[in-house]
Chains A and B, each alone.
Chain A
Amino acid sequence: MEKELPRHADLVDERLVYWHFMAALIFMGASMLGGLLMALQLLRLNPFSGIELLSPGRWRMIHTNAIAYGFIANAFLGGLQWIVPRLTLHKVYNPKIPGLNIGLSWAIFWAWQLVVTATAVGLLLGQAQAVEWGETPIWIDPVAQLGLLLVAINYIPPIAKVEGPLYVSLWYFLAAFVWTFLTYAMGNFMPQYFVTGTAAGAVGGLFIHDLVGLFVTPLGWGLMYYFVPILLKKPIWSHGLSLVGFWGLAFFYPLQGIHHFLYTPIPMFLQYGAVISTIALELVVASVIFNFHATLRGSTGALTTNLPIRWFYSGMFYYFLTCLQCAFQVTLTFQQLIHFSDWVVGHAHMVMFGVFIMWQLGMMTYLIPRLLKTPWYSQRLLEWHYWLSFVGIGLMSFDLIILGIFQGLSWSSLLPWEHSLDLSIPFWAVRTVAGLLMIAGYLVFVVNVVQTYLTSRPAPQKAAVATA
């Protein structure tokens, strides 16, 4: 036990963490532009109407892909580069790449930026693959797959070296490396080369679902189980309960994908299975949420004083809401009404932004000053970023969820199609405003990061003056 602890500087490549975060923020900008363009198109206010490379349809795909693979994946990779070595006390594998003068970690960084950029270019040129969340053109799919394999090769060895029981975050990470690899392969290759028709629909549903559940969710909870205890400076309430959450996810998640395609020609037998297993998962979710709130007990004040903690628990608040919503919307009764409507869009935004992106922004809020060894340029701007994002996503989700109900009612009552569009306009206008709030929050954050970066560097003029 009295082993010499390795030093932080030897464990973590801080520059890499920082650059992953910066890449993530750049792609987030692209994604937000895509979302804004589509929102304006729905309001018939598209200023670039009729320009091929600014087609809202193509930018809608960039919107989802840039956020999933550009922002979320980059932020996770940066986070992993920080967390895994610190939790395991072992360096990531990071062997030198023969022929190149860089290690594996940096190779993954560049490969991943290449994949996401190539995806965006491919989508703009109209080469999408008809898999939702996997529109990456088919010629990039193998490169992305290779990248995911390298990620697993890079991060599994330090975890495997740990002796004794694993901390729950590491369980989640291990599972995520394997699952993401398999999920990506399943979603992008099977419907393209192996299965067709409704069977492929089942696979597609599984992919949409597992991408959130087996790539984003385990990594996200891994982050939470790491950052929340160290920020609150006390252990998680029950490590045993957290492991129940982990294994519950493993057992109940896989069959659920079909709940995205209820009432399709997929056999009812499977649709029922998906519904039941989804509801079972809600119990698992409840156990995780309970655990975190029990941890917070006695330190509730941190919500006001500690900004990252506030980001994290706001994310969990939305997580609970989406999961609760999920338990309802997955039932066949609800599906009759809300399938194909903006309810689903509201749900997706609440999960992706309200939960996972909030967590990652909280992580950045905590880590960026540590990486730059400089306090934040402005605490006020950070507060603005938080409130604009929190209010923006809440407004957008609730607006779209309510709209979904109206749309469903309009459609099923056989009113003319235009009726559903007319009633959507005010809601879509509110959604655009909410989106602009989130974009404003993003810009505030970017300004803050840039200013902090500039302060962290020794100013050249001053240095020059000093020497003169």
Chain B
Amino acid sequence: MNPAINQPSRTSRAQVLTTIGFALLILVPSVLGFANKFREFILLSRGEVDGVFAITPVVNYLLASLGFFCLFFWAIYHGMFRDIEAPKFTMLENERKLDEEE
């Protein structure tokens, strides 16, 4: 990293306020909305039979997504996305060579 970029620089008051303002604007309604949905979900799951199996697909979905997240990060750490456009050229090149030999 270029040390020049790492130099602590003073952020203006206005910038801080704007950032906090936007953060609040987005976070507060989202948190409220999420909490409300989550409460509804818990009520539903405690309710009658109907609600009970509402949990199954949601849990499944969350588990599967979590699995994908892990695989996604695994792929990142393995450099799968480092030279992201390279495979498309390699593939054409291989194809050309294979056809030439034929």
Contacts and interface: CB of A to CB of B under 8 A. Distances in A.
Interface string A212-255: 00000000000000100110011110111001000100110011
A239 B85 contact: yes
Interface stretch (B1-9, B16-24, B27-35, B64-72): B64-72
B89 interface: yes
Interface string A250-293: 11001100100000010101100100000000000000000000
B55 to A, nearest CB: 10
A238 B92 contact: no
Interface string B59-102: 01100110010001000000111111111111110110111011
B72 A267 contact: no
B50 A235 contact: no
A230 B77 CA distance: 30
Given A5-B101, A165-B79, A251 B87 contact: no
B5 to A, nearest CB: 25
A8 interface: yes
Contacts of A199: 53, 56
A238 B92 CA distance: 14
A457 interface: no
Contacts of B80: 165-166
Nearest to B82: A165
Contacts of A168: 87
B58 A243 contact: no
A141 B68 CA distance: 28
Contact of B50 (A166, A243, A265): A265
Contacts of A273: 57-58, 61
Nearest to A265: B50
A167 B95 CA distance: 13
B84 A8 contact: no
Contact of A239 (B51, B54, B58, B87): B87
A230 B57 contact: no
A235 B68 contact: no
A247 B76 CA distance: 12
Contacts of A7: 98, 101
B61 A254 contact: yes
Given A8-B101, A167-B91, A229-B91, A254 B64 contact: yes
B38 to A, nearest CB: 12
Chain B interface SS verdict (over half): helix
Given A5-B94, A254-B64, A167 B57 contact: no
Nearest to B88: A235
A250 B64 CA distance: 9
Given A247-B68, A269-B41, A273-B58, A165 B87 contact: yes
Given A165-B82, A267-B44, A229 B88 contact: yes
A254 B85 CA distance: 28
B47 to A, nearest CB: 10
Nearest to A237: B88
A98 B19 CA distance: 67
Contact of A255 (B61, B83, B94, B102): B61
Contacts of B65: 251, 254
A198 B51 CA distance: 12
B88 A239 contact: yes
A80 interface: no
A206 B79 CA distance: 33
A214 B57 CA distance: 17
B92 A233 contact: yes
A30 interface: no
A86 B98 contact: yes
Given A199-B53, A202-B57, A165 B81 contact: yes
A188 B101 CA distance: 46
A138 interface: no
Given A164-B79, A239-B88, 17 more contacts: A5-B94, A5-B97, A8-B99, A11-B98, A86-B98, A165-B82, A165-B84, A166-B80, A167-B90, A168-B87, A199-B56, A206-B57, A229-B88, A235-B92, A254-B61, A255-B57, A269-B41
23 contacts: A5-B94, A5-B98, A7-B98, A89-B94, A164-B83, A165-B80, A165-B81, A167-B87, A226-B91, A229-B92, A230-B95, A235-B92, A239-B85, A240-B84, A240-B85, A251-B68, A267-B50, A269-B40, A269-B54, A270-B57, A270-B58, A273-B57, A273-B61
Across the A-B interface, give the 6 residue pairs with the lowest CB-CB distance, nearest first.
Answer: A235-B88, A167-B87, A239-B88, A240-B84, A255-B61, A267-B54
Interface of A: 5, 7-9, 11, 86-87, 89, 164-168, 198-199, 202, 206, 226, 229-230, 233-236, 238-240, 243, 247, 250-251, 254-255, 258, 265, 267, 269-270, 273
Interface of B: 40-41, 44, 50-51, 53-54, 56-58, 60-61, 64-65, 68, 72, 79-92, 94-95, 97-99, 101-102
